[in-house]
Structure 1
Amino acid sequence: MAAILRQSRSLQFTSTVRLNTGYSMPILGFGVAYGFDKPTDTHAVQTPCFALNNARRLNYIVLRRHIDTARCYRNEVEVGEAIRESGVPREDTFVTTKIDSSLHGYESTLSTVKASLSDLGLDYIDLYLIHDAGSGQELRLATYRALLEAKALGEIRSVGVSNYGVKHLEELQQAGLPPPAVNQIELHPLCQQRPIVDYCREHGIVVQAYCPIIRGRTDHPVIKELSEKYEKEPAQVLIRWSLQHGFVPLPKSSQAARIRSNAQVFDFELTDADMAALDSLDKGKAGAVSWNPVDVA
């Protein structure tokens, strides 16, 4: 932990992390999926989404340049429009999207990647994730191989996974496939998923943290105490915790002020003792506030 904390003192808004594919990814992202609390509601998301409109008003993409979406969020078209409207050169914007288990399979994955490229209006996608492992071993391996093929074709720069437990990550290794660049999992002080994080660190897989601000459930006494100590919003304390652990947090908000404040986390640093206090809140998977399907067969 000490090495991570020492390195954290040099973190800046423009800092990046190097992926195992050789590409760099900004250490702070912006999620654009809104309007649902569980996966069965994802197809009810309305577009254009309210939060993405906020992002346009703030010219947020110019600031963050790291956008996380997914096919099932049904807002890739709006994400692409926002990128073009921002005026930021394509090479300075990092875009992630995902394929969920309902679309898994080799041929269907290849066609889904092309559909994402078309909807986003991009020549390539920086990071394409398998959204979940729910399709079973055969289909998820076929999906991973198809994403590697799309990478070889130049349609994708890096291939990753989301909601993968250690079993699913080991499955890739046993199949002789290269490790993913990223594993995106629910991650915050109440749900730290340490075995998955440890495996990723041992194998050079960057850990992205979704729900890093616990969906606003920040009334725990320790979080409130640290918020008062540092004169920071509870969400800012949680994002800082994530950054100091070397994770890549993906906070979401539909409020303009929150979107702005979630990026203002580089002017303070949590002490070792305060990091340990937050670490002590871990409830394992019982602390999850999202679907977190890391144990699917």
Structure 2
Amino acid sequence: MSIITLNNGVSIPQVGFGVFQIPPTDAQRMTEAALSAGYRHIDTAAGYQNEEGVGVGVIQSGLPRDEVFVTTKLWNADQGYEKALAAYETSRKKLGLDYIDLYLIHFPIPQKRLYQETWKALEKLYSEGAVRAIGVSNFKFPYLDRLLAGAEVVPAVHQIEVHPTYQQAELDALTRVHGIAVEAYSPLGRGADLTAPAIVEIAARVGATPAQVIMTWHLKRGRIVLPKSASVERLTENLRTDHIELTEADLMTIETLEAGLRTGEDIETFDIPA
């Protein structure tokens, strides 16, 4: 398992198992399956409503706590200093863990104008050792710039949607300028990118699946990657990329597939639950 060293010295496995849209009733089983397959990084969120199952899965795996990197995220309704501190504690208890490895602000929700205040709460949690690293998710510019302007701690991670047909190259580059690691969710375009002719051709040539080709592209470009799957076979396949060799020309061919095809929420119009 490749490791990325974050800007605060914390190590994070470069491939994590994402549990978005995995029902609470399946979260424990799929978490255990992922850890059994070799994953050591699990990504959940308060908004996924499956933190309890993830936590039980981590504990039941039998792995030492310090061998499993657990990420969760603050939900939109819990932004604000005091609410964020309380929400962290709720997530920690649901997970059944003494600490959380990475805690992210899930969306900036610019309409609320609370993300800078919320970041102060995450900085407090970090200073107290309640979390090993803090970061953000879905922060377009100028929101990230505004947060950085008043931050004492630079985010360690920026989790954004990245896949061949939606690469966010400018945001990716601007994030890295600040020493912030880019973490890609929906890295396969929720499956839509697997049938792109260029991906299929490369996969056939190098003896890999289309998913493995896309995963290798992400890894070669230095991103942390969060594939998800409800299939144990596919989640195992997504992790097995060591044997795949892509040339720089292959990587650049994949980058020509950019088409602006976002699959997730647009943060400018995202509906905010009360």
Identify the TM-score tier after normalising by the shorter chain.
over 0.9
- Supply the distance in 1 between the matched residues of 2:174 and 2:152 (Cα, whole angstroms): 16
Q: Distance in 2 between matches of 1:165 and 1:295?
A: 13
Q: 1:157 and 1:169 mapped to 2: Cα distance? A: 21
Matches within 5 A, 1:169-188: 169-188=144-163
C-alpha displacement of 1:137: 6.3
1:89 to 64, 77, 81: 64
Q: Deviations over 1:131-179 (max 9, x none)?
A: 0011546311111110111112221111100001121110022224332
Could you report, residue by residue, the CA deviation over 1:48-75 in whole angstroms, capped at 9, with x for unpaired residues? 23x641342x362571110000001111
Distance 1:294 1:17 in 2: 30
Stretches of structure 2 lacking an aligned partner (at least 5 in a row): none
TM-score between both structures, scaled by the size of structure 1: 0.86
Deviations 1:60-107 (A, max 9, x none): 257111000000111111111111111111111100000122211111
AA aligned to 2:19 is: V
Q: Which residue of 2 aligns with 1:22?
A: 9
1:185-200 equivalences under 5 Å are: 185-200=160-175
Q: Which residues of structure 1 form unaligned runs of 5+?
A: 1-12, 36-45
Partners of 1:230 and 1:207 lie apart in 2 by 27
Distance 1:178 1:225 in 2: 44
Partner of 2:263: 289
Amino acid at match of 1:293: I
Does structure 2 conserve the Cα–Cα contact (< 8 Å) formed by 1:72 and 1:100? yes
Give the AA of the match of 2:256.
S
Q: How does 1:143-162 map to 2 (within 5 A)?
A: 143-162=118-137
1:9 alignment counterpart: none
Alpha-carbon spacing, 1:213–1:294, altered in 2? closer, same or farther (3 Å): farther
Aligned match of 1:141: 116
In 2, are the aligned partners of 1:185 and 1:292 still within 8 Å (CA)?
no
The separation in 1 between residues aligned to 2:243 and 2:163, in whole angstroms, is 20
Q: Distance in 2 between matches of 1:292 and 1:267?
A: 36
**Root-mean-square deviation over aligned CA pairs:** 1.7
* Structure-2-length-normalised TM-score: 0.93
Question: CA–CA distance in 2 between the matches of 1:167 and 1:261?
Answer: 37
Q: Which runs of 4+ in 1 moved over 2 A?
A: 58-62, 135-138, 292-296
- The equivalent position to 1:258 in structure 2, one of 187, 209, 234, is 234
Letter aligned with residue 267 of structure 2: P
Structure-1 residue corresponding to 2:20: 33
Give the Å deviation of 1:294.
7.0
Aligned length: 269
Q: Corresponding residue for 1:70? A: 45
Which piece of structure 1 moves more, 129-138 or 91-100?
Answer: 129-138
